[in-house]
Amino acid sequence: MMSRIEQLIGEIEEYIDGCKYQPLSNSKIVVNRDELEELLVELRLRVPDEIKQYQKIISNRDAILNEARQQADSILVQANQQTNELVNEHEIMQKAYSQAQEVVDQANMQAQGIVEQAVADANAIRESSVQYTDDMLKSLQTIISHSMEGAQGRFDAFMTSMQSSYDIVSSNRQELTGAVMQQPEEEIAEGMPIE
């Protein structure tokens, strides 16, 4: 099913195709500003929410990283609390130290993983946003190219038609010139005076 954005792009293409050329120009056209702006305004309103979401996430990348670091710090605090509780138990001092170190190591690994995942997610979203925007621009570029080719084709057909008309007029003038030259010769042959 064709999206509304694709329909709007098609309508803009049809509108451009239907515009008249400016006098004495084969490339410039006359457009109704209000009609074209109305189509462009609706096109802007139809831009997918994903683009806005990607832009928001990219602009808030620092906030995402800060939140990841806060989560990592929270895990470290909990690990340190567990370490302190274990150390306070004199009978299991050695075991507590070993377990505490393991908890701290796991917390560090988790914190690093959270930060790396947040960075990877932000980069992936940015790349997707750039790719989507490039695809939209490529589609628009193709439409403009097709419009230019169509306009050139119509102009070439117009020039061919004009050349044909020009050739016919030239041929008629030559025939006329021949007829005018032949008439005085016939009058002389019949002995009539030439005025």
* In the block, residue with structure tokens 């939140």: 67
Confidence of residue 122 (pLDDT cuts 50, 70, 90): confident
**pLDDT at residue 191 in the model:** 58
Q: Which residue in 43, 45, 62, 50 sits closest to 130, CA to CA?
A: 50
**pLDDT at residue 183 in the model:** 66
What is the average pLDDT score of the chain?
A: 82
CA dihedral 104, 105, 109, 111 (to 10 degrees): 20
3-state helix, strand, coil in the chain (%, to 5): 85, 0, 15
d(CA 93, CA 90): 5
Q: Give tens-digit pLDDT for 46-101.
A: 877 557 755 787 788 778 788 888 998 999 999 888 877 776 777 767 886 788 89
Q: Which residue in 33, 48, 49, 40 sits closest to 11, CA to CA?
A: 40
Instruction: Give, in degrees to the nearest 5, the angle at Cα 147 between 143 and 150.
Output: 140
The 8-class DSSP code of residue 193 comes to: P
Confidence of residue 45 (pLDDT cuts 50, 70, 90): confident
